[in-house]
Amino acid sequence: MLIEPIISVNNLNKYFFSPDKSLKIDAVKNVTVDIFQGEVVVVIGPSGAGKSTFLRCLNGLEDFDSGTIVIDKIPLDHHHKNRLEIRKEVGMVFQSFNLFPHMTVGKNISLAVRRVRKKSVSECDKITVDLLEKVGITDKIDSYPGQLSGGQQQRVAIARALAMNPKVMLFDEATSALDPEMISEVLDVMKNLAKDGMTMVVVTHEMGFAREAGSRILFMDNGEIVEDRKVEDFFLDPIEDRSKAFLSKVL
The residue range among 2-10, 129-137, 144-152, 217-225 that interacts with another protein, by the rule CB under 8 A, is: 144-152
Catalogue the E-assigned strands of 37-165. Answer: 40-44, 66-71, 74-75, 90-93
The C-alpha atoms of residue 11 and residue 26 are separated, in whole angstroms, by 13
Strand order in the sheet with 74-75: 24-35, 7-17, 66-71, 74-75
Shortest distance in whole angstroms from residue 236 CB to another protein: 35
Distances (CA, A) of 65 to 14, 131, 245: 5, 37, 30
The verdict on 160 binding another protein (CB under 8 A) reads yes
The verdict on 77 binding another protein (CB under 8 A) reads no
**Nearer to another protein among residue 19 and residue 146 (C-beta):** 146
Bridge partners of 44?
A: 219
**Nearer to another protein among residue 51 and residue 160 (C-beta):** 160
Shortest distance in whole angstroms from residue 69 CB to another protein: 15
Distances (CA, A) of 25 to 3, 13, 48, 164, 237: 35, 11, 11, 35, 30
Strand order in the sheet with 168-172: 90-93, 168-172, 199-203, 40-44, 216-221, 224-230
Interacting residue with another protein among 45, 50, 106, 145 (CB under 8 A) = 145
Interacting residue with another protein among 41, 44, 90, 132 (CB under 8 A) = 90
DSSP 8-state secondary structure symbol assigned to residue 5? P
The residue range among 56-64, 69-77, 121-129, 211-219 that interacts with another protein, by the rule CB under 8 A, is: 56-64
Nearest CA-CA partner of 193 in 91, 70, 52, 83 = 91
The residue range among 16-24, 158-166, 174-182, 193-201 that interacts with another protein, by the rule CB under 8 A, is: 158-166
Shortest distance in whole angstroms from residue 23 CB to another protein: 23
Interacting residue with another protein among 29, 88, 140, 216 (CB under 8 A) = 88
Residues in contact with another protein by CB under 8 A are: 59-61, 84-85, 87-88, 90-92, 94, 96-102, 111-112, 115-116, 144-146, 157, 160-161, 164
